[in-house]
């Protein structure tokens, strides 16, 4: 290898290092991979809301699994459920309560139809809502689906220290939302949602 090729290789390597540093925030999250730099994987619970033919959930669910696996995180449990209010609320609550689940993804039921109960069911459970999530998702989705973005209602928030994300049951939108919005910030969101050591162990009152 001559001197010019060596210099070019060194420059390329340096550029890649700079890009990696730029995509890594102060919390240690690699924005391309979406998981912590210490190798810790995030446990995810997935709820697919199914109305009618269960095969309709195949494509968005497969896309979600592929995208999550590509980030090095782990899907702990997957469930397909009916989209009624009580079932959605009970299932999301149960998954968020699992010790091995760090975040919950609910896919489907976020439209404007009378049977789309996911947003209503999950919002009642939230301790904190991430209000910017809807804006980020709809802004990006508008480039893909145009004015049809008016009929989707993405939602995100925290239930008992566990982030929950409600997304449309469309494979292209699932890929868009996870790749552009959720995964780059997932480790940071999970860490921020957890109680700090100081809040976990409150001092005992003097008697």
Q: What is the pLDDT of residues 64-114, one digit of tens each?
A: 999 999 999 999 999 999 999 999 999 999 999 999 999 999 999 999 999
DSSP assignment string, the chain: --HHHHHHHHHHHHHHHHHHHHTB-TT-BBTTT-SBTT-PPPEEEEEEEE-S-GGGGHHHHHHHHHHHHHTT-EEEEEEEEE-SHHHHHHHHHHHHT-TT-SEEEEES--SSSTT--HHHHHHTT-SEE-THHHHHHHHHHHHHHGGGGGG---EEEEETTEEEEEE-S-HHHHHHHIIIIIGGGHHHHHHHHSPPHHHHSPPPPP-
Residue pLDDT, tens place only, 124-152: 999 999 999 999 999 999 999 999 999 99
**pLDDT, position 196:** 79
Decide if pLDDT at 6 tops 70: no
List domains and CATH numbers for the chain.
42-193 (3.40.980.10)
Work out the pLDDT band at 202, boundaries 50, 70, 90.
low
In the structure, what pLDDT confidence band is assigned to residue 57 with cuts at 50, 70 and 90?
confident
Per-residue pLDDT tens over the stretch 164-182: 999 999 999 999 999 999 9
155 or 33: whose pLDDT is higher?
Answer: 155
Per the confidence metrics, is the pTM higher than 0.95?
no
Residue 117 has a pLDDT of 98
Structure confidence at residue 14 (pLDDT): 45
Query: Quick check: 21 pLDDT over 70?
Result: no
**Average pLDDT value over all residues in the chain:** 83
């Amino acid at each position: 290898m001559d001197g010019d090729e060596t210099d070019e290789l060194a420059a390329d390597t340096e550029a890649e290092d700079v890009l990696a540093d730029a995509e890594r925030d102060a919390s240690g999250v690699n924005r391309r991979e979406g998981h912590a730099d210490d190798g810790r994987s995030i446990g995810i619970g997935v709820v697919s809301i199914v109305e009618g033919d269960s095969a309709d959930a195949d494509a968005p669910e497969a896309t979600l699994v592929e995208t999550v696996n590509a980030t090095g995180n782990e899907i702990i449990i997957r469930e397909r459920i009916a989209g009624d209010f009580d079932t959605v609320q009970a299932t999301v609550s149960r998954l968020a309560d699992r010790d091995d689940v760090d975040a919950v993804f609910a896919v489907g039921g976020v439209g404007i139809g009378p049977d789309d109960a996911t947003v209503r069911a999950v919002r009642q459970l939230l301790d904190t809502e991430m209000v910017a999530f809807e804006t980020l998702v709809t802004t990006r989705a508008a480039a893909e689906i145009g004015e049809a973005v008016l009929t989707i209602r993405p939602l995100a928030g925290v239930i008992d220290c566990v982030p929950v994300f409600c997304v449309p049951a469309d494979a292209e939108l699932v890929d868009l939302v996870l790749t552009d919005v959720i995964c780059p910030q997932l480790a940071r969101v999970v860490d921020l949602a957890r109680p700090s050591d100081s809040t976990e162990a409150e001092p005992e009152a003097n008697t």
